[in-house]
Structures are given as C-alpha cells and as structure tokens.
Amino acid sequence: MRCLLAIAAFSILAPSQIVTKPETPTKSGVTWESSVDDALARAKRESKPVMWTIMIHREVACRRMMRRTWTDPAVVSKAKGFVLIPCNVYATPDERLFPGVTVAQVRANETVMRARYGEGKEVVAPQHIITDADGKVLVRKTYELDTQELIRLMDRGLRKTGKDVAADKPADTKGPADPPKPDPAADSPDDEEPEAPTEEDARLVRMIIKSPSNEKEDLTDELLDTSGLPGVELLMQAISKKKIRSEKDRAAIVRRLGYEKHARMAKALLPLVSDKSKSVRNAAVVSLEEMKHPVATEPLIKRFAKERDPEVNKHILRALGLVAPGNKPALDLLTKHAKKRTKLGQNALMSLGPHLQGDPDVRKLLLERWPKTDKKFHLAILYSYWTARDPETADDLKKIKKRERSGTDYDLAEQVLAVIEDRRPETNDRGGGGRRGGRGRDLRRLLGGEWGLIMAFRPLFDEDKVERNVSKDFRARNWGR
C-alpha cells in the first residue's frame, strides 16, 4: 500500500502492565543484517544475492507478511541463500518489525535503499528488491506476497545469479508448495495459541488506545487479522479497565469481533459480558451471538440470571439460539420465556430455530403458541421455522396456513413452507418495485429468492439498540451508509 506520511505510534501502557514474549534474533528463523555495508560485504564473501525487504509497521499487509509469510518454514529455508537487509520506512522505537535489528539500523538501511532504488517521494510497501553483491537490481516486486509468491520471487533472483534452483521442500517436510497456513479453526484447543501477546500485539493495542475514534475500528480489524487470542484478550482487558475513555468507542471496538470468521476469539469477549457499561455488555452479547461459538453458552446463561437491563437480556436470549443449539440449559431458558407474552418471550421464540431440528417438544411449543399470541409473535415463530428449515415442520406450517386461510400470516407461512420444500411460493409477489421504484428490483437481485421473507422479518430487529453487522455491512455496501 502506498503511504506518504510518517505515522507516529503512541505508548500509554507501562511495560509492567503487559506480559509479552521477548523478541530475539532467531524468532522468525531468519537473520537480518544490521547495515548495508556489512550486508554487501557478506554477499560478496559468500557469493549470495541480497534481498532488501521494505516494510511499514502501520500497514496491515506488512504486518501480515512479517507474521505469517516470513516465518513460514519454506521461506526460512529459502532465505538461507540470501543476505537480508531490513528496511522500515517510518520506524519509531515502538514499531519494530525485524527481530535482532534496532530501529536506528532499519532507518539507516531504508535511507540507503531510498537513495539507490527510490522512485520519487512515494514509498510502496510491502516491497522486495533482489540485487547482486554490487547492488545491481535483479528482480523487484511490490505489494503483499504469500509464501509461494515470495519463494517464486526468490527463485527468480537465484536464477538471475546463475544458481540452480531445485524444488526445495519446506523445513517441516510437509512437501513442496504448501499453501499459506490457515487461521486455527473455531474449536481449536486453547493451547494452540501462544501463551502471551507478542510485542507486536502490545504495540498495536497501544495504537488503538491512543488513536482517534475514526481509526480505532480499522486498527482493531488489523489486530484481528494478524494476532492470536492473547493479543485480542489484551485489547479486551484495556476496554475492561477503561483505558479507552469513550464508552461509544469501547462498544464499537467490541462489535468488530461480531463475525463468524472471528469465532476463535470468542473467549476474549466473555469477561465483557459482565462489564459495568451497559453498552459494552450489550455489544459483547451481540458479537458473541454473531460469532456462534458454544464457549459463550454458560457465561450468557449465568449473566441472564443477574442482568437487570431488558435490552441486554433480550439479546442474551437471541444469542442462545445461535451459540447453544442442542444445549439443554439454554433450551430450558428459551422454552420458559417462549411461553410468556412479553418482549423476552418474543425473542425467545425467535431463537428456537437452531434448537428445532429433530426436537418434537420445540415443534409442539411453536405450534401451540401460534393461536395464543398476536402478529408480532407470529412473525417470531415463522422466523424460527425459516431459520431451522426442518422438513419435518412442513405439516406444522400447513396447519398454520389452514388456520389463517388468508392474509399476511398466511402468505408468510406459505413462503417459509416453500423454502423448506425448495419450491416457488404459491402466493403472488406483493413487493412490487418498492417505494423507490427500481431499487426494489435491485434488492431482489442482491438478496436472492428469499428477499420478501428477509424484508418481512425486519420488524423483529427494528427496535434493537445494537445493529447486527450483517445488516450494517449490507447497507454500507449498497447504500453507502
């Protein structure tokens, strides 16, 4: 990514407040040269090409390459054939990317690199330049590279120097051309994570704390993309201790975790379910709902018994649908409230969908509640049938249709039944073009065949004080807000 301005990093947490793993020259498995002169002299002495590695600490692509690509065993093995010169464009004492090399040294290296190979005032990072021992450019590549792309670049550089390139195997002998390592699965055991946050994690957390409000969410996304569970826990601890003063900012950061792709971080959010701030508690509950990780089940049930805010309790019930399918205590709590004609009862009915499949008692409850409630509750019941998509509930929906005979509830029951039976609904589309003309057709195209149902269920979420990320992201993509 291109960058024109130096970026200052801030430090507000004292070193004693952060437990980190010390960085050593061997941490990444490669050796970075401390000076250009020494590097070129070594390259001549050992007849090796030189690789200039140009990074910017604040850029997520740079951090990701240093954290993942440059620590891959195949890259570490291939790098033994090179002399490596590290260059950090805007290095400060709080922004070290290269273990074993000081900030002053990477600054000095970058100054030489810019004088020799700079292309105008603009700096592009990540960037890799391979030269011979005299500094002549052999190959040059800008922007982020994954493991195999970096290895191919190295091979090109070696061939340019006349060296034979064999089909090297990674150091761990898993075979050639292994793809980049994926993130751990959501249910990976905790001992797969490092025991403590790294120095890199700690620096990024300090940046999040001190950055302006409009940058905090982007920096949080960066931490989520590049860190493990300990790094995210460090940020959540800063929120719990109100290191970030704005309650709105704290809640916004917590909401960035609210995606299923971040499910492996769910453990970090659990303490915030009991945070003193109602907004932070609510944000944590909704994010756990969206992460869908069962680790949240017991803490949410315990919090429900103590919680006094109805909005938070409403979202706890909503979350227990997605995080706890098949969990008996969660189902017992939902069933208890689903029998009540209250706001909590409506939300409990909405959450029964994930518990519905193969459970005749839940089927019976939904069907029995239909004649005893009004239209808002009907919508919640149909929502559960729709999210469950259980073929065994087809007869139940037919009974609802027979009872209603016509009207909105009849049409919605038919649409849900059509989804379950994988057919077109019998009722005519009442959506038309929408109040905004052609936008209704665009919406149908974007949402697919079930757009009518999706729009029909919107009233269930209209009163929520915390908007779901799927709704927020959809609106931002298609309406720019």
Q: What is the value of pTM for the model shown?
A: 0.66
Q: How far apart are CA 354 and CA 107, in angstroms?
A: 55
Residue 77 clears pLDDT 90, i.e. is over it:
yes
**Contact by Cβ (8 Å): 101, 31:** no
Residue 381 inside a domain? The answer is no
- Provide the domain limits for residue 219: 196-324
Tell me whether residue 101 is exposed, middle or buried, using C-beta atoms within 10 angstroms of its C-beta: 0 to 12, 13 to 18, 19 or more. buried
Classify residue 391: in a domain, yes or no: no
Portion of the chain with pLDDT greater than 70, in percent: 81
Question: What is the enclosing helix (H) or strand (E) of 54?
Answer: strand 50-55
Average predicted confidence (pLDDT) for the chain: 83
Per the structure, the count of domains in the chain is: 2
Closest residue by Cα to residue 280 from 267, 269, 291, 294 = 269
Within 10 angstroms of residue 226's Cβ, the number of other Cβ atoms is 21
Supply the CATH number for residue 298's domain.
1.25.10.10
Per-residue model confidence as pLDDT tens digits over 49-71: 999 999 987 777 888 888 889 98
* Predicted local distance difference test score (pLDDT) of residue 12: 27
Shared domain check, 319 and 200: yes
Are both 51 and 145 inside the same structural domain? Answer: yes
Residues 210 and 142 in one domain: no
Do 294 and 214 sit in the same domain of this protein?
yes
Share of the chain above pLDDT 90, in %: 62
